[in-house]
Amino acid sequence: MKIAVVGCGKIGTTLLSNLANEGHDIVCIDSDSAVIEEITNIYDVMGVCGNGADSDVLSEAEIKKADLLVSVTDSDELNMLICFIGKSMGAAHTIARIRNPEYNDRSLGFLRQKLQLTDSINPEFIAAREIYNILKFPSAVNIETFSARNFEMIEIKLKPDSQLDGMSILDMRRKYQAKYLVCAVQRGDTAFIPDGRFVLRGGDKIGLTASPAEIQKLLKMLGILQKKARSVLILGASTTAFYLSKLLLAGGNSVKIIEKDHDRCLAFSNRLPGAVVICGDGAEQELLIEEGIESTDAFVSLTGMDEENILISCFAAAQNVPTVITKVNRPELASMAQKLGLDIIISPKKSTGDIITGYARALENSLGSSVETLYKLMDGSVEALEFSVQEDFKYINIPIKEMNLKSNILIAGIIKGRIPIIPSGDDVINANDKVIVLASETRLQNLSDIIM
């Protein structure tokens, strides 16, 4: 497909990287010539320097031929204007980055309708929702949700002394009776789609699929189910922190925010009357101790600096805070943070990149199915895709055991109506089902791609 990306900041660059790796025909637009030169040197994309709201610049980028236009500049208003102009010039689909809470709370539906936006995306709210889900289920280091929150995939890190150390997956299923599936394992830098003979080791990161109730049942049997975080200490009064605080306060949590900018503290105090806002430098250990870091259920570091988030999160972990969540956008720093023992890393640009990548695949020609959701798991080495099955899917009503699946492919779940199923070889796929597939070393465009 031909895709135009306007705005080559952190989010835009991630989108360009993901979409270029998918093999799309990409044109990037940015007003900074140095940025365009750097991007075109690194990625196999075409670059146009100029204002994305200028019709001449969009014409140079051949926007009339674009299957998808994504505008992710730092300005919500500019993104909406660019998408409106691009749509009027012939772009088939448009997605605007809209971050302002006022737009998202009050008038987003109206704006999308009037501006003919195909969709909007809010990286900060996506990150806040991810963090909120983990705080509800702090035993996990990552949670992904499919099909109206009826089916979840969680990643947990096995401790060195885990009772699963040395146990095969088949023996695990026999010992712990619950409706779940171990669908992926990461050991070091290597990811596996395991079979029943695979032996787990302490230190492994394992991916589990099941309904939320069944996951809780399993983790309780394993003795690693942590209570839901009730008190949360947030460092940094960022947009993500605002969205997260609203979610937490609505859920009955106590929220304390530390921010050194006085004006932002006043704004948060006015807009979040249920939160405690402290004006101070969260890098000062004395302040963190004074504000009760040792007794809080969870610490979330959301400043604009990855390095600061990592260092202060390490301090929080040293204070035995049960759940420590760290926002890190740079992949090399995220890897370093994990080696330092910070297991729960949130990256808004990565999550946004996954969503746009999945959307682009859904727009491509699909045979008998369409991509509903796409997540990258195990540090990006495994993809989890949710497909909606159409009536012309060739393998309807055929038992899974009779399908000749490609290697490194696993059917991890089938959702029939609102009923999630952990599939066995005798289960079949029907029209209108949702099917969850895990794939390693394979790019799936439609459900038929899983068959050899």
pLDDT, position 180: 92
pLDDT bracket for residue 85 (50, 70, 90): very high
Write down the mean pLDDT value for the chain: 92
pLDDT, position 446: 86
Judge if 137-222 and 231-321 fold alike in CATH terms.
Answer: no
Query: pLDDT tens across 381-405, in order?
Result: 899 999 999 888 889 999 999 999 9
Residues 228/198, Cβ–Cβ less than 8 Å: no
Percent over 90 (pLDDT), the chain: 73
pLDDT bracket for residue 366 (50, 70, 90): low
Query: pLDDT tens across 209-234, in order?
Result: 998 889 999 999 998 888 889 999 99
For residue 34, how many other CB atoms are within 10 A of its CB? 9
Token look-up 């963090």 returns 131
What CATH code is assigned to 231-321?
Answer: 3.40.50.720
Q: Is 324 exposed, middle or buried (0-12, 13-18, 19+ CB in 10 A)?
A: buried
Work out the average pLDDT over 92-120: 88
pLDDT, position 301: 98
CATH superfamily of 137-222: Regulator of K+ conductance, C-terminal domain (3.30.70.1450)
Work out the average pLDDT over 46-61: 97
pLDDT bracket for residue 243 (50, 70, 90): very high
Q: Tell me which of 286 and 111 has the higher pLDDT.
A: 286
Distance CA 291, CA 3 (A): 48
Distance CA 257, CA 245 (A): 9
Does residue 56 have a pLDDT over 90? yes
Does residue 369 have a pLDDT over 70? no
pLDDT, position 417: 87
Q: What is the 3-state secondary structure of the chain?
A: CEEEEECCCHHHHHHHHHHHHCCCEEEEEECCHHHHHHHHHHCCCEEEECCCCCHHHHHHCCHHHCCEEEECCCCHHHHHHHHHHHHHCCCCCEEEECCCHHHHHHHHHHHHHHCCCCEEECHHHHHHHHHHHHHHCCCCCEEEEECCCCEEEEEEECCCCCCCCCCEHHHHHHHCCCCCEEEEEEECCEEECCCCCCECCCCCEEEEEECHHHHHHHHHHHCCCCCCCCEEEEECCCHHHHHHHHHHHHCCCEEEEEECCHHHHHHHHHHCCCCEEEECCCCCHHHHHHCCHHHCCEEEECCCCHHHHHHHHHHHHHCCCCEEEEECCCHHHHHHHHHCCCCEEECHHHHHHHHHHHHHHHHCCCCCEEEEEEEEEHHHCEEEEEEEECCCCCCCCCCHHHCCECCCEEEEEEEECCEEECCCCCCCCCCCCEEEEEECCCCCCCHHHHEC
Distance CA 27, CA 68 (A): 11
* pTM for the predicted model, two decimal places: 0.88
Pick the CATH number of 2-121 from 3.20.20.70, 2.60.120.10, 3.30.1360.20, 3.40.50.720: 3.40.50.720
pLDDT bracket for residue 365 (50, 70, 90): low
Percent over 70 (pLDDT), the chain: 98
pLDDT, position 70: 97
Does residue 121 have a pLDDT over 80? yes
Q: Is 290 exposed, middle or buried (0-12, 13-18, 19+ CB in 10 A)?
A: exposed
Query: pLDDT tens across 158-190, in order?
Result: 999 999 999 999 999 999 988 899 999 999 889
Give the Å distances, CA to CA, from 240 to 126, 232, 328. 8, 14, 13
Work out the average pLDDT over 145-161: 86
Residues in CB range of 196: below 8 A, 6 or more apart: 168, 169, 170, 173
What CATH code is assigned to 351-450?
Answer: 3.30.70.1450
pLDDT, position 217: 92
pLDDT, position 110: 87
Query: pLDDT tens across 419-439, in order?
Result: 889 999 999 999 999 999 999
pLDDT bracket for residue 367 (50, 70, 90): low
Work out the average pLDDT over 14-30: 93
Q: What are the sequence ranges of the domains in the chain?
A: 2-121, 137-222, 231-321, 351-450
Does residue 348 have a pLDDT over 60? yes
Does residue 270 have a pLDDT over 90? yes
